[in-house]
């Protein structure tokens, strides 16, 4: 979580993000570690950095995730998530943006392609919030990140 400067995450929004990561993403094979002093450059960049602020967001967007410093193809050395924040955050926004940061997509772009309101998409559905990450997303995360859990290359 960005802990200083223009995009510092307020305490209330930090707690929203932390709670969502714990309840939705920690039970998966994705390894989550808190970095109180994120690195924004060099070889030891923090993998996913959370920020707060409206700068760079579309007027109607509550959040956005993007690749910073693309390496090649879909690979990059850092994902940045910016939420509008100000204590107005909710689990659907943080869950959705983290989903994008780890490679999840919406509806027809998801793998496998699903209707945009399919409950298996959980927080990645087109409208509203299902209350969880969704079985399709859990399966995709576990299929992608299982090597980290077992220490495999």
pLDDT in tens, 90-118: 778 889 999 999 989 998 898 899 999 99
Half-sphere exposure of 81 (CA within 13 A, CB side): 25
Distance CA 57, CA 4 (A): 19
pLDDT digits (tens, 9 = 90+) for 35-93: 878 888 877 888 899 999 889 888 888 889 988 876 666 667 788 999 987 766 677 88
Which pLDDT does position 74 carry in this prediction? 60
pLDDT band at 12 (very low <50, low <70, confident <90, very high): confident
| Residue 125 contacts residue 118 (beta carbons within 8 Å) | yes
The rounded radius of gyration (Å) of the Cα atoms in the chain is 15
The pTM of the whole model exceeds 0.75: yes
| Residue 111 contacts residue 120 (beta carbons within 8 Å) | no
Q: What is the DSSP letter of 34?
A: -
Q: Is the pLDDT of residue 153 over 50?
A: no
| Residue 60 contacts residue 54 (beta carbons within 8 Å) | no
């Amino acid at each position: 979580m960005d802990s200083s400067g223009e995009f510092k995450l307020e305490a209330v929004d930090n707690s929203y993000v932390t709670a969502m990561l714990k309840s939705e993403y920690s039970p998966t094979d994705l390894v989550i570690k808190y970095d109180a002093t994120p690195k924004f450059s060099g070889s030891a960049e923090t993998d996913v950095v959370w920020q707060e602020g409206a700068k760079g967001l579309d007027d109607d967007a509550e959040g956005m995730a993007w690749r910073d410093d693309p390496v090649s193809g879909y690979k990059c050395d850092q994902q940045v998530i910016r939420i509008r924040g100000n204590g107005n955050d909710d689990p659907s926004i943080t869950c959705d943006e983290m989903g994008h940061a780890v490679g999840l997509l919406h509806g027809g772009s998801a793998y496998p392609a699903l209707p945009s309101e399919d409950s298996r998409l959980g927080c990645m559905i087109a409208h509203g919030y299902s209350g969880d990450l969704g079985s399709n997303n859990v399966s995709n995360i576990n299929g992608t990140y299982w090597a980290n859990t077992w220490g495999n290359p």
